Amino acid sequence: MEYEKQVDKSHYSFKRYFFPGRWMSYWYQTEEISKRPDIATVLDIGPGTTFMHDILKIHRPDITYKTLDIAEDLHPDILGGVTKIPLPDESFDLVSAFQVLEHIVFTDFETALIEMKRVAKRYVFVSLPHFGPSIEFHLKVPFLKRIRFAFKVPYAPKHVFGGQHYWEIGKAEYPTKRIRTVMAKHFEILDEYVPFENQYHHFFILKKK
């Protein structure tokens, strides 16, 4: 399937795009990358903004960071799509796609993972939208350890395409188990989690087998 950009560059304006939960997702992205000394080169697919580039420049200036996108007006380093990345095998230590793969049809999901694996030397990091109302509890009493937990209410309606997301984890046809099974065919799943601060983003930390 051929893809075209879905939103204008103005979509990534501060007030429209950088809500508090997204700030925390950037923290987790940065933390996952910066704590690994064996990552020296990163290809970030569909980053949307230059935020990751700017923060890595401060905290991991040794990392060579490049972007890939189909949107010319975002001025990516490499113009192209995730289902057919115009790069040789094992070009980067890490290939990441944060909140990107839901923008392609699910039948292309595994194809995209295979392409990311091909271009990566070591890791593939992915985050995906995880639908579902959540119950969250956060308690901090002086002199006692902070307590917090969250869980999603089991509610899985059928997904309806609204112009951007073709699918989301937690919708009727896309349980987490299905996503995990596809990933496990091609990667070792080092970790996966939904940050407490952003219950809509589900992270998968993958390593090439």
Tell whether 1 is covered by a domain. Answer: no
Q: What is the pLDDT of residues 173-188, one digit of tens each?
A: 999 999 999 999 999 9
Structurally, the chain folds into a number of domains equal to 1
3 occurs within a structural domain = no
Contact between residue 114 and residue 126 where contact means Cβ atoms under 8 Å apart? no
Residue 71 belongs to domain with CATH number: 3.40.50.150
Sequence-distant (≥ 6) Cβ neighbours of residue 123 within 8 angstroms: 36, 39, 93, 94, 95, 205, 206, 207, 208
49 inside domain: yes
Q: Is residue 76 part of a domain?
A: yes
Crossing angle for the helix pair 51-59 and 20-34, to the nearest 10 degrees: 40
Q: What does the alpha-carbon distance between residue 177 and residue 78 come to, in Å, rounded to a whole number?
A: 33
In a domain, 66, yes or no: yes
Closest alpha carbon to 11 in 191, 164, 190, 194:
164
What's the pLDDT tens digit per position in 128-180? 999 999 999 999 999 999 999 999 999 999 999 999 999 999 999 999 999 99
Q: What is the mean pLDDT of residues 110-136?
A: 97
Amino acid identity, position 204: F
Residue 72 lies in a domain: yes
Going along 12-116, which residue ranges are E strands? Answer: 41-45, 64-69, 78-79, 92-98
The model scores a pTM over 0.85: yes
For residue 4, what pLDDT band results from cuts at 50, 70 and 90? confident
Q: How far apart are CA 194 and CA 79, in angstroms?
A: 30
Residue with tokens 């896309």: 174
Q: Which residue has the tokens 């399937």?
A: 1
Which pLDDT score, from 0 to 100, does residue 146 have? 95
Task: Encode pLDDT of 14-72 as tens digits.
Answer: 455 556 767 889 999 999 999 999 999 999 999 988 889 999 999 999 999 999 999 99
Question: What is the pLDDT, as a whole number, of residue 159?
Answer: 97
Q: What's the domain range around 203? A: 9-208
**pLDDT for position 11:** 55
Predicted confidence at residue 60, as pLDDT, reads 95
**Is there a domain that residue 18 lies in?**
yes
The answer to whether residue 13 sits within a structural domain is: yes
